[in-house]
Structure 1
């Protein structure tokens, strides 16, 4: 390919979720001598990462009308005209390849692409199929084989793609993406600064999690586990970084459990890498995952983790080696694992050092090269 190929990355939103963060990480490492990357998204109120993408040299298109979400970022209803705007964008920009993320925009692109220059279609699967809503599964089922190639973020996600929806040959490629923490602070000073910024005692045992406040992340189980941990370790603190529809419900639950004073709802933050050094243990209580960027960031930061045995997490964290794995939806098991680490600082140090070592495998630049190898493969057909 002598000329650059224009590529559109299509997502539902550009909020601070893990899938969206992957777009930004990959954009910073894209081969701009070969690919002209643009990004389009559907939900205008989920735009936190749009400025960073623009700064990285990526042209960003919002497909939703500005009035379909409030000026303060409060979710509204998706503009029903966004597929028409997507069709016009595809026709006007004449993309050689469309790389979709999230199933609903992906299904729309698969239906519209043949009428707008027929770009090649690559899809990244971030979750297992059986976790999608019924309507989403049907939209996927009816259009999925139109993909020229599929990238799965973990082997667990790859196994979740139904055999009936696959195409023959090397159609699915598993790519373990990685975080981009270059220049992130570390060491005792970073720990002290993070705790001061969060208003946490310097000597407290601090557990933290990063994720949207949604049912699939199951912070309710984490709150119940923290309540049990707090009974055994009264100085323990829990930090929840993220925002979402369950914010009010989770705050009320913390109050019901009698631990509101030891739980910090930090909200959505753009400085997560600077906050991680303030934690003693990272945790995820998720009921479903593909392969969370937050876990990889925590491991890269040298944190021991306690996470549920779901999705791709057991692919990057060995139980008892870089952290501890527990069943989903089990507050007692989660509390026991956190309590084990609370009472054993040398174990925390050993697991954290092993996590940092394992994280050397996480290579965002290498992941983007693997993605571009898929692009090259489908563009040559």
Structure 2
């Protein structure tokens, strides 16, 4: 029997974000006969998905201190400065054949540390975001070390195009892999809808607009609240649900109150998003930047029509007027107008929702993991 290759997936955190959820989805479909996969992460207070990985048989290492350590005062991104040394020790002790990095800061550390070992692991990096999102220092460090990757996987063509031309390599070095959600076993039907609405405290007869994402500037829920305020003037029975947590929570709640929107549901970070989706009628994302959001693919798989901004990889999976609508970012009038079309027309919601469910048949998390492992095989043969 051929020995398994030990692989490390390296991430900044294991909170309930889209990139982190992809790790869980892929872990459930990994070929464990060929790969012994472990996960390491930097931020100990972002550990919500660690149990799910462990349940999938993945060994998890926290580089930033004991798991569950609360963030100190100041920016939540302030990690324990000793984590790179812990990473170096982990690489030396576990002798990985391949390190697959996610997010630029841990990726830079792996590129700098891995070559120092006699048996250098192959380096694969997944690019989840457009490069413009990164801070200047991160962007420079990423760029200066990027060619040390043996391969790069972009989650969308839009993300792949933002890698600076000087950092791309010809041939088969850059791969685009559309991942997908894993909603196997997710509830559906009238009973699931009633339970979700009861859980969220929503009226049975309301037309519910929902969004899922961290409460951060990138997701721009402020524009969504402004759009919803205009929508309520013509559709008073509409309701809005924000699922997610983040640094802008208090500011967005204050903004909702300022706009006279006391009934907006701030649901917080939830482990049961697939069970809540049946309670929605329309899905939306007001993001200013995206790679390819798992939340949108989950909503489409659940049969929800969507209104999303024309950014990142979202136009690659949703056609304007096909499964929903694409609108410019930062434009509350355009967002509100598209939402109003769906809120006011049940037949249109049903038609676009059915088209979204049909389109979601192309979202294949198992196939995506096969594509990732094909990249592994390619670089390990070199």
TM-score class, shorter-chain normalisation, is over 0.9
1:150 aligned onto 2:152: yes
Q: Distance in 2 between matches of 1:311 and 1:75?
A: 26
Map of 1:215 onto structure 2: 217
SS at 1:321 equivalent = coil
Which of 192, 202, 205 is matched with 1:203 structurally?
Answer: 205
Matches within 5 A, 1:157-176: 157-176=159-178
Q: Distance in 2 between matches of 1:271 and 1:27?
A: 19
Contact 1:68 1:79 in 2 (8 A): no
TM-score (norm 2): 0.97
Distance 1:203 1:362, change over 3 A: same
Superposed CA offset, 1:137-156 (max 9, x none): 10111100000000000000
Q: Distance in 1 between matches of 2:6 and 2:311?
A: 36
Matches within 5 A, 1:70-85: 70=70, 75=76, 77-85=78-86
Map of 2:277 onto structure 1: 276
Map of 1:59 onto structure 2: 59
Map of 1:296 onto structure 2: 297
Q: Distance in 2 between matches of 1:278 and 1:3?
A: 47
Matches within 5 A, 1:225-264: 225-259=227-261, 261-264=262-265
Contact 2:47 2:68 in 1 (8 A): no
Contact 2:38 2:60 in 1 (8 A): yes
Q: Which runs of 5+ in 1 are unaligned?
A: none
Q: Distance in 1 between matches of 2:67 and 2:212?
A: 29
Deviation at 1:318, TM superposition (A): 0.2
Matches within 5 A, 1:77-226: 77-116=78-117, 117-226=119-228
Contact 1:69 1:75 in 2 (8 A): no
Contact 2:46 2:68 in 1 (8 A): no
Distance 1:76 1:146, change over 3 A: closer
Map of 2:13 onto structure 1: 13
Superposed CA offset, 1:154-177 (max 9, x none): 000011111101122111110000
Distance 1:138 1:76, change over 3 A: closer
Q: Distance in 2 between matches of 1:163 and 1:91?
A: 33
Contact 2:45 2:67 in 1 (8 A): no
Q: Distance in 1 between matches of 2:3 and 2:125?
A: 23
Map of 2:368 onto structure 1: 367
Greater displacement, 236-245 / 74-83:
74-83
Deviation at 1:72, TM superposition (A): 11
Contact 2:158 2:313 in 1 (8 A): yes
Superposed CA offset, 1:36-88 (max 9, x none): 00000000000000011001000000000239942899947310000000000
Map of 1:314 onto structure 2: 315
1:379 aligned onto 2:376: no
The aligned length equals 380
SS at 1:288 equivalent = coil
Q: Which runs of 5+ in 2 are unaligned?
A: none
Q: Distance in 1 between matches of 2:283 and 2:305?
A: 6
Superposed CA offset, 1:311-343 (max 9, x none): 000000000010000000000100000111111
Superposed CA offset, 1:265-308 (max 9, x none): 00000000000000000000000000000000000000000000
Map of 1:327 onto structure 2: 328
Q: Distance in 1 between matches of 2:313 and 2:282?
A: 19
SS at 1:8 equivalent = strand
Q: Distance in 2 between matches of 1:72 and 1:211?
A: 23
Deviation at 1:128, TM superposition (A): 1.0
